[in-house]
């Protein structure tokens, strides 16, 4: 039975529900544990925890980082990260700024294509959240350039479409390193969306991942069992979540995918052991000079 949804977005990135609303909805659904995993942002964790305390839910602090290899992009989830860590907050602030710069580049491309849209239109959708393509898609709907959210991706901002711009590039290994240095565990998110085959999944997993998101709404039912067996064979932690972005934003509903309590405890135990051996030093910058300031 799904009692835990370990992949959720809020208004702190490209979700349309505030952390408070997410927690209230999760509670109403009877979920016991949720992970808040905004893109490049952890600001939503505090509000979620505050609400969860009142409602008797557990909130696992998380984040979703985008990474790239030659063949394409892979999303890496960090779970149980130390969300109050100033070092981590610094790093995420950098990524957030990079996202805003990339948003501006996308808007410029749209303008060159003749679309009447400004960065102000985008920022009025994103608010304080780290800017993502879903904000731009919604802004495109608002200014009347497209008929729907999906059409914005199909015509303009989807991969290989004319206004697509990549984000700041880090590798899966570097994403994993940041997560580990912030006290968390690294999970390869929705591998069946990103990877072409098992070999590619293994390659990314070997770049320092602790676990893999087996259960995700976009994973085809008949491929899930195979992925689960692959994870068990390799001793990878198994996670799952809905990748909820709010009701208006494409993916299925909160709690639709996830794991049971026994899996949550396995993940927690793994993290507890990792934590015992981890030493937080002031040398965390070493090896991270790919982050230009």
DSSP state letter for 175: H
Nearer to ligand AMP, 57 or 145 (CB): 145
Which residues, in sequence order, are CB contacts of 164 under 8 Å at separation 6+?
A: 106, 156, 157, 158
Rounded to a whole number, what is the largest CA-CA distance in the chain? 56
Stretch 13-52: interaction string toward Fe ion, x if CB under 5 A: -x--------------------------------------
Find the binding residues for ligand AMP in span 163-182 (CB under 6 A).
167
Instruction: Report yes or no: 36 and 22 within 8 Å, Cβ to Cβ.
Output: yes
Least spacing, CB of residue 82 vs ligand AMP, in Å = 23
Nearer to ligand AMP, 181 or 190 (CB): 190
Find the binding residues for ligand AMP in span 247-266 (CB under 6 A).
250
Instruction: Report yes or no: 26 and 17 within 8 Å, Cβ to Cβ.
Output: no
- CA dist 79 and 7 (Å) reads 9
Does position 243 interact with Zn ion (CB under 5 A)? The reply is yes
Q: How many helices (H) and strands (E) does the chain have?
A: 11, 7
Q: Encoding tokens for residue 96?
A: 């957030």
Among 193, 194, 108, CA closest to 157? 108
- CA dist 283 and 293 (Å) reads 17
Residue reference for tokens 């972005």: 245
Least spacing, CB of residue 9 vs Zn ion, in Å = 6
Nearer to ligand AMP, 8 or 264 (CB): 8
Choose the contact partner of 153 out of Zn ion, ligand AMP, Fe ion, none; CB within 5 to 8 A by kind: ligand AMP
Judged by CB under 6 A, which stretch of 26-34, 83-91, 127-135, 174-182 contacts ligand AMP?
Answer: 127-135
Least spacing, CB of residue 166 vs ligand AMP, in Å = 8
Give the binding site for Fe ion (CB under 5 A).
14, 75, 189
Give the binding site for ligand AMP (CB under 6 A).
14, 39, 66, 132-134, 150, 153, 158, 167, 245, 250
């Amino acid at each position: 039975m799904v009692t835990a949804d370990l992949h959720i977005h809020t208004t702190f990135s490209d979700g349309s529900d505030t952390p408070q609303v997410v927690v209230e909805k999760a509670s109403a659904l009877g979920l016991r544990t949720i992970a808040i995993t905004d893109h490049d942002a952890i600001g939503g964790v505090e509000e979620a925890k505050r609400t969860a305390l009142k409602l008797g839910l557990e909130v696992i602090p998380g984040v979703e980082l985008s990474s790239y290899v030659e063949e394409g992009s892979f999303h890496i989830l960090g779970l149980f990260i130390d969300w109050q860590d100033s070092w981590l907050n610094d790093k995420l602030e950098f990524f957030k700024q990079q996202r805003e710069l990339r948003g501006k580049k996308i808007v410029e491309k749209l303008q060159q294509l003749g679309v009447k849209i400004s960065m102000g239109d985008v920022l009025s959708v994103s608010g304080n959240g780290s800017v993502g393509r879903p904000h731009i898609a919604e802004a495109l709907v608002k200014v009347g350039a497209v008929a729907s959210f999906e059409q914005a991706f199909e015509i303009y901002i989807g991969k290989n479409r004319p206004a697509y711009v990549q984000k700041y590039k880090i590798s899966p290994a570097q994403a994993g390193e940041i997560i580990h240095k912030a006290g968390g565990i690294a999970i390869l998110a929705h591998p069946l969306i990103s990877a072409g085959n098992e070999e590619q999944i293994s390659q990314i997993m070997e770049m320092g991942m602790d676990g893999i998101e087996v259960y995700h709404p976009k994973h085809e039912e008949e491929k899930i069992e195979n992925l689960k067996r692959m994870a068990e064979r390799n001793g990878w932690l198994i996670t799952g979540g809905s990748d909820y972005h709010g009701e208006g934003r494409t993916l299925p509903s909160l709690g639709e995918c996830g794991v049971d309590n026994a899996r949550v405890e396995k993940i927690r135990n793994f993290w507890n052991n990792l934590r015992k051996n981890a030493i937080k030093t002031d040398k965390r910058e070493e090896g991270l000079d790919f982050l230009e300031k």
